Chains A and B, each alone.
Chain A
Amino acid sequence: MFKYKSPLSRLLEGAGKAKEEETTETEAVAEAQPEQAEQPQPIADFNALRQALAGGNMASDSYEETEDLIPEEQMPEFSEAEKEAVVEAAEEQPAEEPAEPEASSDDQVVTLHLTSADAVEEDTMLAAVAEAATDEAEDIADAPAEPEVVAEIFEAPAPVAEPEEMTEPAPMAELAPEPVAAEPEEAEAPAPAPAPAEDRRSRVKTTFLGFDRADTHVQELIETAEPVAKTESTQQVFPVGWLVVTSGPGRGACVTLTEGLMQIGRNDDQAIQLDFGDTGISRSNHAVIAYDPEDRKSYLGHGGKANLVRLNGKPVLSTTPLSNGDLIRISETSIRFMAFCDDGFDWRDAD
């Protein structure tokens, strides 16, 4: 989480925070440094604020360097930076103010900038709250000034679910950004107020980032699945469609359809060879499939008086156009047709 904290927020921490928090955050700040250095805008913020705050405590060397690169005299020219600095300064006040009494009173600290629900949750936390509260305050101050920080938070959603216990100070530090998310969530979805803390936390963050939870299982799949080995060499076959055996012997087999007359049979010489053990399929020419580039459709025909083929259950007694998803049945074998060339695409289009 702290990775994504802006230099601005760290400055605020340094300026307004009690010393005890420094220890909890040192690690996070150290982690954050490489990223921070890459962002030009926060550097300006830093300089402006440094002036305003009369030299907060810097933990990072990289900041010392950037400071050298940007002389303080030039700062007034950075109107943007100035503005932000002003905003920061303004925000800093309300944010910090609640933090002070919190540290002293230890309970109800969070209520000052969070909802009652959050406060209830966190009432039970004693020393940890004091630390977290100030963190939260800083993040609140953070949010309006630097939206990009907010956008980055979603990259580390995993730790959010973990701090369920909330008995240790360490998880609390991770939770710090959560209150930022809490505010919009309360407005949009007030219903689950008394929900368990862990539920709230994960969902709160989600809503705030506009990140759809439904996607996460796909993300998980992509992150956890092993790459499939290459099965065969890729060839330029210019497919017009595919047949996939969906039931019967050979279930799961796939045949690429190309232009020309493609006979279906069990023999080796059949363009669509279905030799998976269904002997009800003729050796040769049980049925045929052909793509007609004129009307961009594939057609199914039967291969003679002794070869029955059904299309969507109906016997095929004449050449019949195939539609995407059509089910072809030959003997005990069911095959689904998927079109590639159709009204939307034909290989001639690309020429």
Chain B
Amino acid sequence: MLATPAYDIALILDTGQRDTQEDAIAARVFDSAGAGYVVIADGMGGHDAGEVASELVISAWRDMMDAQLDGPEPAEGDLLDALPMAAMQANAAVSGHSEDHGVKLGSTLLGMLMLGHRVFWISIGDSPMYLFRDDHLSQINEDHSMAPEIDAQVAQGILTADEARVHPDRNRLTSVIMGSEIPKVDCPETALTLAPSDILVLGSDGLQYLSDPEIGGLIRTNAQSPARDIADALLQALQARNDPDQDNISIAVVKPAGT
């Protein structure tokens, strides 16, 4: 962080139009190890449960990753194992809280580990991870919600695009950290290798009140700007939309340093 930061990272957390902040976000860079991470959790559950769930996930991630990355010469195999281990620890923590307090709670986990220019991630739930490369935006993690299936029905002509957009099951998750089995986990074995001009955008689904083309356009406009300007442009666009239902907003923008 001090001398030559390897990454340009900006984080934003906004409540949107909701009463409570159920998202949680964190990042840390380890200059000595040439590594860093970003983690986003989107909690859900009645009363305070959503906040608790996302906090449990973030702290489980931080405990696991910090212990690895702060250690002397962390082994890469251990670092990569730490991603699913963090998810398991988070799941156990959520399970414990659920049992202790008799509440149902859950959270997504989008955790990204950067080792030099290689990017690994674990994703459970519907928090999106975008790669902006060669003037093109694409979501690179799996979406564990019903949205992909509903969109597939549009492609098959079963639903219209408008029906799909407001489909009641659209945001129903097919995998989440809620203290029980985790049916789906996206944790690729092979790394994404960052090019100097690549831009990574991670978020909670509150970011997706903007369409993918809108997000891509805003990144394109600000591609040469620092990460915080890109993140700020995204937040301002969401606020300008002024959706009365605007969910909590988490945004992380990561650029390889020196661009």
Given contacts A305-B92, A308-B81, contact A315 B181 (CB under 8 A): no
Question: Within the assembled complex, what's the spacing in Å between the Cα atoms of A212 and B181?
Answer: 54
Mark A residues whose CB is within 8 Å of B: 302, 304-306, 308, 313-315, 317-319
Which of B83, B92, B181, B187 contacts A318 (CB under 8 A)? B181
User: Is B89 a contact of A317 with CB atoms below 8 Å?
Assistant: no
Mark contacts of B124-162 with chain A using CB atoms, 8 A cut-off: 1 yes-contact digit, 0 otherwise: 100000000000000000000000000000000000000
Closest chain A CB from B191 CB (angstroms): 13
- Taken together as a complex, chains A and B put the C-alpha atoms of A112 and B26 apart, in Å, by 94
Instruction: Give the docked Cα–Cα distance between A311 and B122 (Å).
Output: 15
Q: Which residues of B are found within 8 Å of A313, using beta-carbon distances?
A: 189
Q: Is the CB of B187 within 8 A of A306?
A: no
Once the chains bind, are B185 and A305 in contact (CB under 8 Å)?
A: no
Q: Whole-angstrom distance from the CB of A133 to the nearest CB of chain B? A: 70
**CA of A304 to CA of B92 in the docked complex: distance in angstroms?**
8
Residue of B nearest to A317 (CB): B182
Instruction: Flag if B91 contacts A305 (CB, 8 Å).
Output: yes
What are 19 A-B pairs at a CB distance below 8 A?
Answer: A304-B88, A304-B92, A305-B85, A305-B91, A306-B89, A308-B81, A313-B189, A315-B83, A315-B87, A315-B122, A315-B185, A317-B87, A317-B91, A317-B182, A317-B185, A318-B181, A318-B182, A318-B183, A319-B181
Among residues of A, the one whose C-beta sits closest to the C-beta of B124 is A317
Apart from A304-B88, A306-B88, A315-B87, 20 more pairs, CB < 8 Å: A302-B88, A305-B88, A305-B89, A305-B91, A305-B92, A306-B85, A306-B89, A308-B88, A314-B187, A314-B189, A315-B185, A317-B84, A317-B87, A317-B88, A317-B91, A317-B124, A317-B181, A317-B182, A318-B181, A319-B181
Shortest Cβ distance from residue B237 to the other chain A in the assembled complex, whole angstroms = 35
Alpha-carbon distance A304/B91, docked complex (angstroms): 10
- Chain B: which residue is nearest A315 at the CB level? B84
Number of A-B contacts defined by CB within 8 Å? 37
Closest 4 CB pairs of A and B: A315-B84, A318-B181, A305-B92, A317-B182
Q: Chain A binding site: helix, strand, loop or mixed by DSSP?
A: loop
Query: Which residues of B line the A interface, CB within 8 A?
Result: 81, 83-85, 87-89, 91-92, 122, 124, 181-183, 185, 187, 189
List, in ascending order, chain B residues with CB within 8 A of A315's CB. Answer: 83-84, 87, 122, 185, 187
Q: Which residues of A contact B189 (CB under 8 A)?
A: 313-314
Give the shortest distance, in Å, between B130 (CB) and chain A (any CB).
Answer: 22
Task: Give bound CA distance, A148 to B129, whole Å.
Answer: 74
Interface centre among A302, A304, A315, A319, by most B CB within 10 Å?
A: A315
Return chain B residues, CB-CB under 8 Å to A302: 88
List A contacts of B91 (CB < 8 A): 305, 317
Q: Is the CB of A308 within 8 A of B85?
A: yes
Most chain B beta-carbon contacts within 10 A, residue among A302, A305, A308: A305
Bound-state Cα–Cα, A302 to B83, Å: 15
Which residues of the partner chain A approach B183 to less than 8 Å between Cβ atoms?
A: 318
Smallest distance from the beta carbon of A282 to chain B beta carbons, Å?
13
CB distance from B221 to the nearest CB of A (A): 37
| Bound-state Cα–Cα, A55 to B160, Å | 99
Contacts of A319 in B (CB 8 A): 181
Which B residues are in CB contact (< 8 Å) with A308?
81, 84-85, 88
Contacts of B187 in A (CB 8 A): 314-315
Q: Specify which chain B residues have a CB less than 8 angstroms from the CB of A306 in the assembled complex.
A: 85, 88-89
| Contact partners of A314 in chain B: CB under 8 A | 185, 187, 189
Compute how far the CA of A1 lies from the CA of B182 in the bound complex, rounded to whole angstroms. Answer: 71
Chain B's closest residue to A318 (CB) is B181
Complex Cα spacing A308 to B182, Å: 14
A305→B187 CA distance, assembly (Å): 17
Q: Report the minimal beta-carbon distance from A300 to chain B, rounded to whole angstroms.
A: 13
Report the separation of the CA atoms of residues A314 and B84 in the bound assembly, to the nearest whole angstrom: 9
- C-alpha gap A32/B124 in the complex (Å): 79
Output the least CB separation between B142 and chain A (Å). Answer: 12
- Interfacial chain A residues near B122, Cβ < 8 Å: 315
Q: How far is the CA of A308 from the CA of B185 in the complex (A)?
A: 13
The minimal Cβ–Cβ distance linking B175 to chain A, given in whole angstroms, is 9
A319→B185 CA distance, assembly (Å): 12
**Chain B nearest CB: distance from A320 CB in Å?**
9
Q: In the bound complex, how far is the Cα of B133 from the Cα of A115, in angstroms?
A: 71
Give the CA-CA distance A319 to B81 in the complex, in Å: 18
Nearest-neighbour CB distance to chain A for B110, whole angstroms, equals: 15
A319 to chain B, nearest CB (A): 7
- State the CA gap A302–B182 with chains docked (Å): 11
